[in-house]
Amino acid sequence: MSGHDSKYFSTTKKGEIPELKEELNSQYKDKRKDAVKKVIAAMTVGKDVSSLFTDVVNCMQTENLELKKLVYLYLINYAKSQPDLAILAVNTFVKDSQDPNPLIRALAVRTMGCIRVDKITEYLCDPLRRCLKDDDPYVRKTAAICVAKLYDINAELVEDRGFLEALKDLISDNNPMVVANAVAALAEIQDSSARPIFEITSHTLTKLLTALNECTEWGQVFILDSLSRYKATDARDAENIVERVTPRLQHANCAVVLSAVKIILLQMELITSTDVVRNLCKKMAPPLVTLLSAEPEIQYVALRNINLIVQKRPTILAHEIKVFFCKYNDPIYVKMEKLEIMIKLASDRNIDQVLLEFKEYATEVDVDFVRKAVRAIGRCAIKLERAAERCISVLLELIKIKVNYVVQEAIIVIKDIFRRYPNTYESIIATLCESLDTLDEPEAKASMIWIIGEYAERIDNADELLESFLDTFPEEPALVQLQLLTATVKLFLKKPTEGPQQMIQAVLNNATVETDNPDLRDRAYIYWRLLSTDPEAAKDVVLAEKPVISDDSNQLDSSLLDELLANISTLSSVYHKPPEAFVSRVKAAPRADDEEFADAGETGYSESPSQGVDGASPSSSTGTSSNVPVKQPAAAAPAVAAPIPDLLGDLMGLDNALVPVDEPTASSGPPLPVVLPSTTGQGLQISAQLVRRDGQIYYDISFENGTQGVLDGFMIQFNKNTFGLAAGGPLQVPPLQPGSSARTLLAMVFSQNVSPGAPNSLLQVAVKNNQQPVWYFSDKGSLHVFFGEDGKMERTSFLEAWKSLPDDNEFSKEYPNSVISSIDATIEHLAASNVFFIAKRKNANMDVLYLSAKIPRGIPFLIELTAAVGVPGAKCAVKTPNREFVPLFFEAMESLIN
């Protein structure tokens, strides 16, 4: 509609449907056109005008292109709710696809592709085949996109009719936009297919690089993104690709620039010539800097991508640190990202400039930004040993300005500097102690207490300083209480005089009798037991030398960083998460790489080799000793249903505690899938699977000892996951002799450590024993384990729920290889997994079953399963209020009906 057509949205008429019907059937063309515009306006503002379907379709027989577009728009919107009537439009579509006007031919094919009705799909094939070979490039490029839409509706039909081959042929088309659309369509199809569809060969590569120079900016993005999947054969091939792509760095569109940068970074891995790599780094710097002169939103996206790039190739922007200095009018989200990049680019050569900037930022009015700036100074000190003294000087200057939140943040970072450079900068402790009375934030208090406890022998009045905190011990947050407890024990061990002795007695009494915090109480019991039985052992534990903390500016694991760099210019590079962490797709066929997917790392969980994790120190903010080899006192044992506190100082850095071994519980059943092969586990093989028995979820886990020694002291821990699954009790595994095995059931509880983001079935697990390091593995469960016994619905409730859910919440998937041999046996088999039978009906020679299931949080699934007994192929349709779980549901149903 044009600008002057806004009058069609301002009508206040009621009961206008009969009038519109009459106008649509008018003998005057102008009147019909006005009527269709009124219908589209009503449809746009949410009125139901589906009853006019037949009358609008009758208006399709026109030469007026504007009217035809409006009718097609109406058809796209209402065809799904009126599939039988939509067939009336097929003849016109077919006729329009042969119209002399290429715009009408393209419009017809585009519209047929957008009408997601199975009955129309068959009629689309012939016009689409013709349009893929049309003389006009506009029609061909439209038809290319239509193939991708058709694949989404019916993948099997596209493959059987040879459309994929026709699409691949278009890559050799002489029109660059046709090539770009063909590439975009093939890439989209590849994303939703389990098998390789679009593989770039050396011949294809030449075609794409040729088309790259001539197509539109978005066509260039499609081609560049596809080229990023190409693996160059050697350094010469990689240099050739980079040479052809480098001119795209000068493009005005930032998406083209970032896509070009992505390809160059990927191909640089294969280039062996240092001169070529150095020149490429120089060429990439100006375009990246130019992106920072755009709007704040584009700046933010660019900065998030640059953040990744400088972790891999810091030399690219090493001389451009000034462009990341914050401007007074930058939004806070841009300032924060600039700070992060400045820390990563800080070096001995530019640290003075950087510190001047950070010092300036620390005097601004935005409190969050000031805190981040102060913390950035500390991180630079940890990163650059030769600049640490200058960083501390700046921090001391900031402390002297007596701004409360600046002082507190400075103390927090100085504590980390002490951990990084022990016995080096302790002369500033006296200055820090002057600010003791101003501390009111838990983390700052805990940091100051840690400093006092750690250096108690150098502080003359350490007992008085700690005593000033003891008066408010019961009211303090847990973080401060834990630190105060440990600091008091350190003071007593270093100065076992009467004053500290009275203090330690008071603190231990408060921490064991007066508190409800099990973590605090358990730590106090351990200290009490150590001090009363073996003070020398207590010194070895509490005063043990702590591991030096390291620079955290490049915090991403190398494999995750490589994956994110391969996804530059996508949301993945903005979120700093791999795509599967927030995008779920229903695959057209079962995935062949399920096991590979199960091994893929997710955010918040380390995939680094387990060696070196064993014996890791606890969080530096607590300052407690690491790896205390003690058993949990019986008096402090919590309830089984809750996660057991970690007396080992959160050994693995996750959210729920390691659960120690108890007496064994026998388990039996079919063989379990291997989740940690013996080749990875240094002789230990672990097999495991989630199972449901009598309404309870268990982790059925088996251990096989292929080592030469006894393995004991097994402990297990689960990372954050979609359902918050955690161990509901101790892992019960006896000592394993060489060559022996043990199998046990571990009861699981819900909602202990729920992970954010899109649901997935990945369960990330860590297992430890006394003889080996921590082993990490991923296990891919099935949603049907979570189907509850309360999932059965009455027939009337099922019908009401089905009708109440909108059509957008209905999804379907076909299982071409599934064969149902008996309806009754299938119903019984599904009921065993809590998928309950509601009703059954016949549709031609097909049986249609209606079933229901429910998962935790009360999320129901209303299921329609269609199949013919003894004939391969089944179709499952589901309606659910929570569409995020649909991909997992289809995976579960596939395993149940196969």
User: At CA 171, angle to CA 166 and CA 172, rounded to 5?
Assistant: 100
- Indicate if the pLDDT at residue 478 is higher than 50: yes
- Indicate if the pLDDT at residue 640 is higher than 60: no
CA-closest candidate to residue 193, choices 594, 591, 758, 597: 591
pLDDT band at 391 (very low <50, low <70, confident <90, very high): very high
Averaged pLDDT of the chain: 82
User: What are 711's strand-pairing partners?
Assistant: 736
pLDDT per residue as tens digits for the range 280-331: 999 999 999 999 988 999 999 999 999 999 988 888 888 888 999 998 889 9
Contacts of residues 452-456 at CB distance under 8 Å and 24 or more positions apart, as own/partner, are 452/487, 452/491, 453/483, 453/486, 453/487, 453/488, 453/489, 453/490, 453/491, 453/623, 454/418, 454/487, 454/490, 454/623, 455/426, 455/429, 456/487, 456/490, 456/491, 456/494, 456/495
**Exposure class string for 563-598: b at 16+ Cβ within 10 A, else e:** bbbbbbbbebbbbbbbbbbeebeebbeeeeeeeeeb
Output the pTM of the full model.
0.61
- Residue 819's CB is within 10 A of a number of other CB atoms, namely 15
Q: Is 181 buried (19+), middle (13-18) or exposed (0-12) by CB count in 10 A?
A: buried
pLDDT per residue as tens digits for the range 832-847: 889 999 988 888 788 8
pLDDT at 864: 92
pLDDT band at 377 (very low <50, low <70, confident <90, very high): very high
pLDDT band at 263 (very low <50, low <70, confident <90, very high): very high
pLDDT band at 1 (very low <50, low <70, confident <90, very high): low
pLDDT band at 376 (very low <50, low <70, confident <90, very high): very high
pLDDT at 144: 92
Q: How much of the chain, in percent, has pLDDT values that exceed 90?
A: 20
pLDDT at 628: 32
pLDDT band at 110 (very low <50, low <70, confident <90, very high): confident
Least confident of 578-587, 715-724, 734-743: 578-587
Least confident of 10-24, 430-444, 489-503, 669-683: 10-24
- Residue 430's CB is within 10 A of a number of other CB atoms, namely 11
Mean pLDDT of 491-502: 80
- Indicate if the pLDDT at residue 734 is higher than 80: yes
Mean pLDDT of 232-237: 86
User: At CA 494, angle to CA 493 and CA 495, rounded to 5?
Assistant: 95
- Indicate if the pLDDT at residue 657 is higher than 50: no
pLDDT band at 584 (very low <50, low <70, confident <90, very high): low
- Indicate if the pLDDT at residue 399 is higher than 60: yes
**Higher-confidence residue: 636 or 36?**
36
pLDDT band at 214 (very low <50, low <70, confident <90, very high): confident
- Indicate if the pLDDT at residue 417 is higher than 70: yes
H/E/C letters for each residue in 584-622? CCCCCCCCCCHHHHHHCCCCCCCCCCCCCCCCCCCCCCC
- Indicate if the pLDDT at residue 637 is higher than 90: no
Least confident of 42-56, 449-463, 629-643: 629-643
- Indicate if the pLDDT at residue 768 is higher than 60: yes
pLDDT per residue as tens digits for the range 81-101: 777 777 777 777 788 888 888
